[in-house]
Every structure is written in structure tokens, then in C-alpha cells.
Amino acid sequence: IAGTALGDGFVLELADGGAVQTLRVLLAMGMRYESPAVPGLAELWGSSVFHCPFCHGWEVRDQPLAVLANGERAVHMATMLRGWSDDVVLLTNGPADFTDDHRPRLADAGVTVDERVVAELSSAEGELAAVVFGDGTSLARRGLLVATTLHQRTALASKLGVDLAAAGPVSVEPVGVDALYRTSVPGVFAAGDVCAQMPQVAAAIAAGSAAAASVVASFLEEK
């Protein structure tokens, strides 16, 4: 799909070859998640392998958990996950990219660091059973928090000329909006994960409601 400005409105080109004319556009198409390329991960995604402990942590509480990430973000994720389990292992999938204070912070939080290369995830009955390493050994785990990044799902925002906000650790291509969910292009609004740094269903619903009110207000201001 593509979009171009036309007079006071826009023309949106559809995948089936059709086109729609509109006076306002609300971008709310979500984002594309990029997760580590580990065999077995995709099959467990959204259940025992997840990107947000606030969304999925309760289901695996008090069980052996792991975090697959590296660097500062990994330290943040691992120490946070301790709120759901006393048994948390940080898997850096190779040499740890740590600063001098990272290991003491992890040790103080009771997080173990494992720098072995992850080869695959082993499952049983559709749930994570173990993390298998390149040396053939494995670590029994029931849940895995992974570092993902969010990217634009389509090129629609860029084709409309919308500016992106600064990249963050989670969303690296967020659409820039103001407090009223207006983008840099008059008449184009955005809501939900497409412009969020902390993607959550509840937050996306709230943003959609607020953005809809902003769209209506923009019409009323023209009267």
C-alpha cells in the first residue's frame, strides 16, 4: 500500500490495485517484530518465549527463566525479570558486551550470566523445555524473555512523508507524534505500536481512542 497527498487530502493505493481518497489518515498498522534468529524460537513465540514480562510474565512466574540479550538492555531485562522468578539466567549468546558495573549489578540481583552460544530451543508439548548450546549441553528453562526490535511494517509512513522519531532500544523506527497524535504531515495521525516505545495492547487501545478524538477535533476546527 502507498499514499500521496492530493489537495487537502490523500490518495491511498491498495494492494488490489484500487485507491481510496480521504481527508485524514490514521496510521495504526502495528510494527514488525525482529527477534533473535534461533531455531525453535518462532514456534514458541507468544507463549513461553516472549518480549514483555508485563504481558507474559505471570504465566511463567516462579519457574526457571532466562533472558536472551546482551549489553545494557540485557542487564535491564534480566534484573527486571527477577520480579517474576528467583531463578533467572542471562544468556548473552557469546561474549558479554558489558561495562564495568554490569556484572556487579547482575550479581546483586541474583542473576547468573551464561556466555555460551545458543544453538536452538528445545520444546515439549508446545512449551519451552530447555535452551541447547553450541557445545551440545543444555539448560532447562520454562520461559525465555528475548530482546526484540520493532520496525515499520510497511513503507506507508515514509511515502506519506511522515517524520520518524528518534530510535530507541525497542522501537527503532517509531513514527513521531505530538501529544494529540499528530504527525509531521498535517492530516496524518498515528497511534499504537507504530509510534510507541513501550508496545502494549492496553496502551495501544488508549492511544487509538485519543487519536480518534484528535482526528474529529481537526475536522471541527475547520468549521
Q: For residue 100, what is the domain's CATH number? A: 3.50.50.60
What percentage of the chain has pLDDT greater than the value 70? 100
Do both 48 and 102 map to the same domain? yes
Do both 194 and 174 map to the same domain? yes
Which of 112, 146, 180 lies at the terminal end of a domain, its last residue?
Answer: 146
Which pLDDT does position 125 carry in this prediction?
A: 93
Alpha helices (runs of H) in the chain, residue ranges in sequence order: 41-44, 53-56, 71-81, 102-109, 156-159, 201-220
1 has a pLDDT exceeding 80: no
Distance CA 160, CA 158 (A): 5
Do both 9 and 46 map to the same domain? no
In three-state secondary structure terms, 19 is strand
Which pLDDT does position 199 carry in this prediction?
A: 82
- C-alpha cell, 21: 481518497
Which pLDDT does position 3 carry in this prediction?
A: 81
In three-state secondary structure terms, 59 is helix
Do both 53 and 126 map to the same domain? yes
Do both 40 and 126 map to the same domain? yes
Which of 117, 146, 175 lies at the terminal end of a domain, its last residue?
Answer: 146
Do both 186 and 203 map to the same domain? yes
Do both 156 and 192 map to the same domain? yes
Torsions phi, psi of 152, nearest 5?
A: -60, 135
Do both 187 and 107 map to the same domain? no
Stretch 9-17: mean pLDDT: 87
Distance CA 142, CA 61 (A): 10
Do both 42 and 134 map to the same domain? yes
User: Tens digits of per-residue pLDDT, 132-164?
Assistant: 999 999 999 999 999 999 999 999 999 999 999
Do both 18 and 116 map to the same domain? no
- Residue 74 sits at the vertex; the CA angle it makes with 73 and 75, to the nearest 5 degrees, is 90
Distance CA 143, CA 50 (A): 8
Do both 40 and 86 map to the same domain? yes
Structure confidence at residue 16 as a pLDDT band (50, 70, 90): confident
Distance CA 142, CA 125 (A): 12
210 has a pLDDT exceeding 80: yes
- C-alpha cell, 41: 524460537
Residue 111: domain span: 36-146
Domain count, the chain: 2
Do both 49 and 124 map to the same domain? yes
Q: Give 91's strand partners.
A: 68, 114
Which pLDDT does position 196 carry in this prediction?
A: 87
User: Tens digits of per-residue pLDDT, 37-73?
Assistant: 999 999 999 999 999 999 899 999 999 999 999 999 9
Which of 116, 146, 176 lies at the terminal end of a domain, its last residue?
Answer: 146
Strand pairing report for 188-190 and 25-27: parallel
- C-alpha cell, 105: 549489578
